[in-house]
Amino acid sequence: MNVVVLGPAGSGKSLLTCRFGGYLLKEDYSVKFLNLDPGCLDVPYHCDFDIRERFTVEKIMAKEGLGPNGAVLRAMDMLSETKIPQLDGDFVLFDTPGQLEVFAFRSSGPKIIDQLSDPIGIFIIDATIGANDLPSAYLYSLAISYRLGIDTLRVVNKVDLLNKQERERVSKILHNPKILEKKVKTMGVLADIYLPMLKILGKVIPAQRIPLISAKTEEGFGELLTILHEVKCVCGDLT
């Protein structure tokens, strides 16, 4: 199964790749790890393929006299021309570039995803964004999945950083996003857009299982594995 780990910078893509891969190995699956982030200094797992052996953002900066943003753009264009090796494994995990928006909204993301057979995305929502902003993170995940053309399940990561009340609030909103209605109403003219959107999310989000996980403590990994199996092995339905 080709699993592409997606999420904003710092949401925990690399740590989740490392720890969830380790968890799968302990469960006796064969696992391959691929790092597609040319900008990272280090990854916490042993790579079976590492894009940094071909190019890095740092070297591009030095060689082409570019600043960090220019070099990231250049690196993403180079990534789009890269042939990804086809590796065998029960789970082939792809850790993606730190700057998700550059990966997704330039050609590299869609071109990489196109090379993978039957991929599934795991989109990380960082729990520290706060419960009230879960809908915005969810909408962002939809935009990314749409752009990349990949079926994606969502996880809320870093729940170890939430206290009991915050965790309950996250669970509550995932079960019923419409409880945010009062907050949205205070947002002025854009409420005309947000309110109908919240109604749709109120139907869509509770129908999905969005596990609360921690890449640090490995909480929720069992549930994540179950969902992956259900999505890819049984019915292809994300609910």
Ligand X SMILES: Nc1nc2c(ncn2[C@@H]2O[C@H](COP(=O)(O)OP(=O)(O)O)[C@@H](O)[C@H]2O)c(=O)[nH]1
- Provide the minimum distance between the beta carbon of 95 and ligand X in the complex, in angstroms, as a whole number: 7
Among 79, 158, 162, 211, binds ligand X (CB under 6 A): 158
Cβ(36)–Cβ(112) below 8 Å: yes
Q: Which does 158 bind (CB under 5 to 8 A by kind): ligand X, Mg ion, none?
A: ligand X
Cβ(2)–Cβ(112) below 8 Å: no
Distance CA 173, CA 179 (A): 7
The tokens of 10 are what? 């710092």
Strand order from edge to edge, sheet including 2-6: 49-50, 31-35, 91-95, 2-6, 120-126, 151-157
Nearer to ligand X, 18 or 180 (CB): 18
Among 14, 35, 157, 214, binds Mg ion (CB under 5 A): 14
Interface with ligand X, residue 15, by CB under 6 A:
yes
Segment near ligand X (CB under 6 A); pick from 6-14, 53-61, 131-139, 224-232: 6-14
Q: How far is residue 213 from each of residues 90, 149, 234, measured CA to CA in Å?
A: 22, 25, 23
Interface with ligand X, residue 11, by CB under 6 A:
yes
**91-95 and 31-35: which strand pairing?**
parallel
95-124 residues in contact with ligand X (CB under 6 A) are 98
- Provide the minimum distance between the beta carbon of 16 and ligand X in the complex, in angstroms, as a whole number: 6
Alpha-carbon dihedral 222, 226, 231, 232, rounded to 10 degrees: 90
Q: Which does 141 bind (CB under 5 to 8 A by kind): ligand X, Mg ion, none?
A: none
Among 134, 141, 214, 224, binds ligand X (CB under 6 A): 214
Nearest CA to 144 among 109, 187, 168?
Answer: 109
Nearer to Mg ion, 2 or 11 (CB): 11
Give the interface with Mg ion as residue ranges (CB under 5 A).
13-14
Give the interface with ligand X as residue ranges (CB under 6 A).
7, 9-15, 98, 157-158, 160-161, 214-216
